[in-house]
Amino acid sequence: MRRPITKKHKIVPDHKYNSEKISKFINYIMLDGERNVAKEIVYKAFDKIAKDTGTKDPMEVFEDALKNVEPNMEVRSRRIGGANYQVPRPVNAVRRRLLSMNWIIGAARAKKGKPMHVRLADELILASKGEGEAVKKRENTHRMADANKAFAHFSW
């Protein structure tokens, strides 16, 4: 039996940029309920983006980064007749945004030696240009989906 559909919570836009996406991004960065620390990291990263890019709006860089990292296809494991197949599937919009934000944050956390806001700003700038670890992760995901196209008929 399927579990009941949960009610979606209304996301309150952040106070500085009045954006729900940034509010969600802050929530993904937050560790152990430290929302103020997460906000500080994001806003400092946006200030650094504004300083480094000069003329570009940090919100525009953020949007471009998310757009460049969002995957269109992913592979899901499916067990059929005793064998596991990697079945390519399209990604819906909500999961696409979740994956792109998590990949950007993961790539920033993987770097060492600099404060988090600097690493995050660098990763967002690279992703907006179509470079960086998060974009590589997306390309690998697409490559996996392309390689397993033969199993697409197992899609559910």
Express each pLDDT in 60-116 by its tens digit: 999 999 999 999 999 988 888 899 888 899 999 999 999 999 999 999 999 999 999
Two structure tokens written together for 71: 């995957």
* pTM score over 0.75: yes
pLDDT for res 85:
85
pLDDT for res 86:
85
pLDDT at 138 over 80: yes
CA-to-CA dists, residue 9 to 6, 15, 77, angstroms: 9, 18, 29
Helix (H, G, I), strand (E, B) or coil at 72: coil
CA-to-CA dists, residue 118 to 86, 97, 112, 115, angstroms: 36, 22, 11, 6
Domain residue limits, the chain: 20-154
What CATH number is given for 20-154 in this structure?
Answer: 1.10.455.10
